[in-house]
A = this chain, B = another copy of it.
Amino acid sequence: MKPPKSSKNDVFLRYKLWLSAVSGEGIIGEGTHLLLREIEERGSLKAAAEFLGISYRKAWGDIKKSEELLGYDLTVKRRGGIGGGQSDLTTKAKNLLEAYDALHKKMDTAIEDAYAEFKEKTK
């Protein structure tokens, strides 16, 4: 998915992959995936949002929406105490992330192959 070195009018492929509800609403995409990763890494939603350069408000809303659509919690939230509070991932969230990563890896490989073929056809 990284843009290769290319000339001015050269093109490359990009894709987005996400989990969707039957309604069509997105449940988890690249953004939320990264966010969950950072929550796992940093132990709080606030720190994760800051690190990713998005507002806490949006980060919180994204997680909430995901959880509501999935029907189960992705994070364990705590308020108070040292540091003011923390968020950690649930086991389900960790499993989800792992599966999501594998998925992306497969898709990356697929698109790499497809891109080579595409370039051949359109050159």
Contact = CB atoms under 8 A, between A and B. Distances in A.
Interface of A: 1-22, 24, 26-27, 67-73, 92, 95-96, 98-100, 102-103, 106-107, 109-111, 113-115, 117-118, 121-122
- Copy total for this chain: 2
Contacts of A113: 106
Contacts of A2: 68
A9 to B, nearest CB: 4
Contact of A11 (B12, B13, B19): B19
Contacts of A67: 1
Contacts of A9: 21, 69-72
A26 B118 CA distance: 17
Contact of A71 (B8, B114, B122): B8
Nearest to A8: B70
A60 B21 CA distance: 33
Nearest to A117: B102
